[in-house]
């Protein structure tokens, strides 16, 4: 018991000093971005950017410029969907541009891992592939790959969508379609005519799409 007490008191003394290698302080600009990513962002997005829950997007392998733009958009309140406000505004409020660039680089350097999908409906996946590759001309919805790349890998500020959680992708498509907080992209018109089933099929295809 004495040793336990000594360990406790020693720990408290150590705690008086900020440890930059394991800090969870968002406002301290001396905390390296990879420390922030591991100590804080990992809680939702996974330590390597491969989130477990489809509530939160996978960030592994994501385009660096896209991540920078999104984090700045959260910080400024421009990306204003319900989930943006609920989860991300506060987390980004004190981030500097340097911290944001560091976080974007951290996640870009990791490799996205495919989630095991319960979706085995080949018809659904085939419909999704058709939309991804050819769009839906009748609804004036262009092919996803025209902007997001031949295998959904993204480019610069256009995000990687291959391997992303289907539920997250569907939610974003709905947000674009309803113009509910992600302005400044062509996605509102792209998604204008998509049905829920079409969103589901293309999202399911993309979740299973390895790059």
Partner 1 sequence: MVSTQRIDAYVSQALVSLAILSALGIGFIFSKSASALPLFARQTGQSCLACHAGGQFPELTPYGRLFKLTGYTQGVRTDIPLAVMAVASYAKVSSYNGSDSSGVDFPRDGTANITTASVFCCGKITDNIGVFAQYTHDLWASQDASGSWQEHSHIDQVDIRYSDRFIDESHDFIYGLSLNNNPGVTDVWNTHNSAFAPVSSYVPAGNAIFSSSALPHDVPATPILEGLQYSAGLSGYFYLNNALYAEVGTYKASTSGLSFLHDAGVGGPGALSTRLSGSFNPYLRLAANHDWNANSLMLGIHALHASVFDDATLINSNSYSTFNDIGMDGQYQYLLDPHALTLLFSFTHENQNYSGYQHTANSFNPSDTLNYLRAKITYVFRARYGASLAYTQAQGSSDLGIYGASPAANTQANLSFNHSPDSKLWVPEVFVMPVQNIRVGLQYFKWSQFLGGHTYTYYSGLGTPSSRDASDNNLAFLYVWLAY
Kindly tell me which of 11 and 120 has the beta carbon lying closer to partner 1: 11
**109 near partner 1 (CB under 8 A):** no
Q: What is the CA radius of gyration of the chain?
A: 20
Of 77, 93, 97, 121, which one interacts with partner 1 (CB under 8 A)? 93
Token duo for residue 88: 């991300």
Q: Look-up: residue for tokens 């792209």?
A: 190
**44 near partner 1 (CB under 8 A):** yes
Kindly tell me which of 26 and 187 has the beta carbon lying closer to partner 1: 26
Q: Shortest approach of partner 1 to residue 61 CB, angstroms?
A: 14
Q: Shortest approach of partner 1 to residue 77 CB, angstroms?
A: 11
C-alpha closest to that of 203 among 140, 127, 123, 106: 127
**23 near partner 1 (CB under 8 A):** yes
Q: Shortest approach of partner 1 to residue 130 CB, angstroms?
A: 26
| Cα 110 to Cα 49, 62, 63, 105, 141, distances in angstroms | 7, 8, 11, 9, 32
Token duo for residue 37: 């990513």
Residues found in the chain: 211
> Binding pattern to partner 1, positions 160-199, x when CB under 8 A?
-------x---x----------------------------
Cβ burial, residue 167 (10 Å; 0-12/13-18/19+): middle
Of 64, 85, 129, 139, which one interacts with partner 1 (CB under 8 A)? 85
Kindly tell me which of 38 and 139 has the beta carbon lying closer to partner 1: 38
| Cα 56 to Cα 51, 87, 159, 168, distances in angstroms | 6, 10, 15, 7
Q: Which stretch binds partner 1 (CB under 8 A): 53-61, 125-133, 137-145, 191-199?
A: 53-61
**12 near partner 1 (CB under 8 A):** yes
CA distance 167 to 73: 22
Q: Look-up: residue for tokens 């800090």?
A: 23
List phi, psi (to 5°) of 141. Answer: -100, 115
- Interface residues with partner 1 (CB under 8 A) are 1-2, 4-5, 8-9, 11-12, 14-16, 18-19, 22-27, 38-40, 42-44, 47-48, 52-55, 82-83, 85-87, 89-91, 93-94, 115, 167, 171
């Amino acid at each position: 018991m004495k040793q336990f007490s000594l360990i406790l008191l020693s720990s408290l003394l150590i705690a008086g000093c900020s440890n930059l290698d394991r800090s969870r302080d968002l406002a301290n600009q001396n905390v390296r971005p990879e420390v922030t990513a591991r100590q804080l962002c990992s809680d939702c997005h996974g330590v390597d950017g491969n989130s477990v829950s489809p509530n939160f997007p996978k960030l592994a392998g994501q385009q660096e410029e896209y991540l920078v733009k999104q984090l700045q958009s959260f910080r400024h309140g421009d990306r204003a969907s319900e989930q943006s406000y609920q989860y991300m505004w506060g987390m980004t409020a004190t981030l500097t541009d340097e911290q944001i660039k560091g976080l974007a680089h951290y996640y870009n350097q990791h490799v996205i891992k495919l989630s095991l999908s319960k979706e085995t409906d080949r018809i659904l996946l085939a419909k999704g592939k058709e939309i991804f590759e050819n769009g839906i001309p009748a609804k004036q919805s262009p092919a996803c790959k025209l902007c997001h790349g031949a295998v959904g890998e993204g480019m610069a500020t256009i995000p990687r969508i291959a391997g992303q959680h289907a539920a997250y992708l569907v939610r974003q498509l709905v947000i674009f379609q309803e113009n509910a907080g992600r302005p400044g992209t062509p996605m509102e018109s792209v998604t204008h005519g998509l049905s829920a089933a079409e969103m589901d099929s293309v999202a399911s295809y993309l979740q299973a799409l390895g790059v």
